[in-house]
Amino acid sequence: MEARIVKLADGRTLEVRQAKQEDADQLLAFLPSAFEETDCLLMTRKEFDNTLDQGTDFLGKIAASQTQLALVGILDHVLVAVLTFTVRDLERVRHAGEVGLIVSKDSWGCGIGKTMMSCLHQSAEGNSETTKIDLRVRLSNRRAIKLYENLGYQVEGWIRKAVKIGDQYDDHYWMGKEMPFDDRY
């Protein structure tokens, strides 16, 4: 995907581009604080123990991959968002992939999540093989569900007791969107 510079509603500009190996140090600063800021992600802060070498290696593999995509959102030179799109490289499921999205909490509500998803849609439109985008989201994650619904994603399934936090369970929705992915929703 070509890098995109997008003007946010508050006038700031967000650069969205594919992640590179050189982003590893910023990513390793971003991810632990993101895991601490929200319990909407599957991983907890204490479970995240990647080193800079592992991060660099991971980003190198993604950059070289035909089936994985990682986008970063950069605001004032700081990495504030990461989107991953993972496709299993098997003939029968290669048409679909699953999204993961994280925006730094102090930048929530500025349209960054929407912009990251819109860049994924643009990239998927340019890939003749991808015809479906899926994601899982906690039922209590109203902000994320609203974001995806606004973009035309529909609830396709419901997984009961998908996560347990302390002694509280929460369910997951499976949501999905089919081609066309452009933002005529």
The residue ranges that bind ligand COA (CB under 6 A) are 38, 40-41, 101-103, 108-114, 135, 137, 141-144, 146-147, 150
Output the smallest distance, CB 138 to ligand COA, in A.
7
Closest CA to 126 of 181, 49, 59: 181
Residue 33 Cβ, how far from ligand COA at the closest point, in Å? 11
CB of 88 or CB of 142, closer to ligand COA: 142
CB of 81 to ligand COA, least distance (A): 7
> For 10, phi and psi rounded to 5 degrees?
-85, 5
Nearer to ligand COA, 79 or 144 (CB): 144
CB of 179 to ligand COA, least distance (A): 21
Q: Are 72 and 17 in contact (CB under 8 A)?
A: yes
Residue 74 CA to chain centroid, in angstroms? Answer: 14
Q: Which is nearer to ligand COA, 56 or 104 (CB)?
A: 104
Q: How many helices (H) and strands (E) in the chain? A: 4, 8
Q: Which residue has the tokens 């490289």?
A: 89
Compare residues 2 and 183 and give the one whose CB is closer to ligand COA: 183
Contact 141, 132 (CB under 8 A): no
